[in-house]
Amino acid sequence: MKVRIEIDTKTFVRFWLVVIGFAGVILALYSARTALIILGTSLFLALALNGPVSRLAKHLPDRSRTLSTAISFFAVVLFLGAVIFLVIPPIVQQTVKFIDSAPEMVRTLSAQWQGFGDVVEKYHIQPQVDQAVASMQADAARWVAGFGKNFVSGIGSAFSLFAASLLVLVLTFLMLVEGPQWMKRIWGLYRDEKRLKHHKHIVSRMRQVVSGYVSGQLTVSGIGALCAGATVFVLAQFFHEVPANLALPTIAICFVLSLIPMFGATIAGVIVSVLLAFNSLPAAIIFIIYFIVYQQLENNIISPRIQSKRIELSPLAVLAAVTVGLYVFGIAGGIISIPIAGCIKVLVEAYLERTREARKEEHTKEKPFAKLVKKSQA
């Protein structure tokens, strides 16, 4: 039995227009991804800082929003300065210690190389060693040849990153100062009181999602930083080569870098492991084991549970949002992907709720008419 499906020309044209339009929107968004990342990051920071700025403005003369925003930015700069003050001196101290111990390390490596030479001579593997050395020399030569180009490219990338960061700060400042005024103008355009109340409720929920994500990320980073600092402090009690004052820089490094999803905690773990290795290799190995175990707990249990409660997303949705944001828009996309997913969830829920109310209203309106029809039939 053959089934024949007929589609009229109008439906066929509409379908392909929707497909082409959707593809065009996706292509336009991807082409403008850099600008969207800058605007999205600025909006994310503005929404995250809006609560503290608004509360501070209530206690200032004339409730100056500009002054409260400036004070908030100054507080952030002070916090970053305190972090640098805690992190840099121990790193410098460990670097000096490494330089002082470099001659002893060179002597140890020389002794080990002498033993390796005996092994090469004993097992007659000199040709293989020469080939490996020649390959490494060729790779080094290619790296040196492309160093100038890579250096110039690196300078350009660093300048672009600095310019983008500066633009994000300026946009965030202006959004915090002018945001309430713009929102009043937008709300003033509404004539339907019911729709105005509904849209205000949606915006309020989206703001709660962003602030909840920020507080959740700070909570996760704080837990990880305190656990890492406590681990280093305990290691310092068992390995006297490890200074106990390394715990504070560990907390600062892990807290700041863990705010970056996916890669931040790994970078922090590598830095702390290297600092420990300068003092005691066994302590560094133990910390690496601890770090791997804790990251499994954080990524699969702690972080998804905290974030899912704060922004009302399932752990699967959190992981999926970070993965998509990271691979499409890079690190910045990974950072803002979770609150964006939460805001999309709010919009979808509001649309579904609105649809259900509309259907309920239609059903209510149809009831009197249905009763009238029944009476006429009787």
Per-residue pLDDT tens digits for 202-215? 888 888 887 778 77
Write down the pLDDT at residue 295: 87
Q: What are the structure tokens assigned to 219, written together?
A: 């909570």
Segment among 35-44, 150-159, 215-224, 253-262 with least mean pLDDT: 150-159
Per-residue pLDDT tens digits for 93-123? 766 766 666 566 556 655 555 555 666 566 6
Question: For residue 292, what pLDDT band results from cuts at 50, 70 and 90?
Answer: very high
Contact partners, residue 246, CB within 8 Å, separation at least 6:
90, 94, 232, 236, 275, 276, 279
Is the distance from CB of 306 to CB of 217 less than 8 angstroms? no
Give burial (CB, 10 Å; 0-12/13-18/19+) of 246.
Answer: buried
Task: Using alpha carbons, select from 79, 84, 57 the residue that is nearest to residue 70.
Answer: 57
Amino acid at 206: M
Q: How far apart are CA 328 and CA 33, in angstroms?
A: 9
3-state SS string over the chain? CCCCCCCCHHHHHHHHHHHHHHHHHHHHHHHCHHHHHHHHHHHHHHHHHHHHHHHHHCCCHHHCHHHHHHHHHHHHHHHHHHHHHHHHHHHHHHHHHHHHHHHHHHHHHHHHHHHHHHHHHHHCCHHHHHHHHHHHHHHHHHHHHCHHHHHHHHHHHHHHHHHHHHHHHHHHHHHHHHHHHHHHHHHHCCCCHHHHHHHHHHHHHHHHHHHHHHHHHHHHHHHHHHHHHHHHHHHHHHCCCCCHHHHHHHHHHHHHHCCCCCCHHHHHHHHHHHHHHHHCHHHHHHHHHHHHHHHHHHHHHHHHHHHHHHHCCCHHHHHHHHHHHHHHHHHHHHHHHHHHHHHHHHHHHHHHHHHHHHHHHHHHHHHHHHHHHHHHHC
Contact partners, residue 120, CB within 8 Å, separation at least 6:
126, 129
Is the distance from CB of 254 to CB of 349 less than 8 angstroms? no
Per-residue pLDDT tens digits for 174-228? 888 888 888 888 888 888 888 888 888 888 888 888 777 877 888 888 899 999 9
| More reliable by pLDDT, 365 or 170 | 170
Q: What are the structure tokens assigned to 347, written together?
A: 């919009």
Amino acid at 289: I
**For the chain, what percent of residues have pLDDT higher than 90?**
6
Q: How far apart are CA 336 and CA 322, in angstroms?
A: 8
Write down the pLDDT at residue 165: 78
Q: What are the structure tokens assigned to 28, written together?
A: 């336009």
Domain assignments of the chain as residue spans, ordered by start: 66-101+192-310
Q: How far is CA 247 from CA 88, 159, 239, 253, 290, in A?
A: 13, 33, 13, 10, 15
Q: How far apart are CA 247 and CA 234, in angstroms?
A: 9
Q: What are the structure tokens assigned to 322, written together?
A: 């970070």
Residue 167 has pLDDT above 70, yes or no: yes
Per-residue pLDDT tens digits for 48-68? 788 788 888 888 877 788 888
Write down the pLDDT at residue 286: 93
Q: How far apart are CA 38 and CA 95, in angstroms?
A: 36
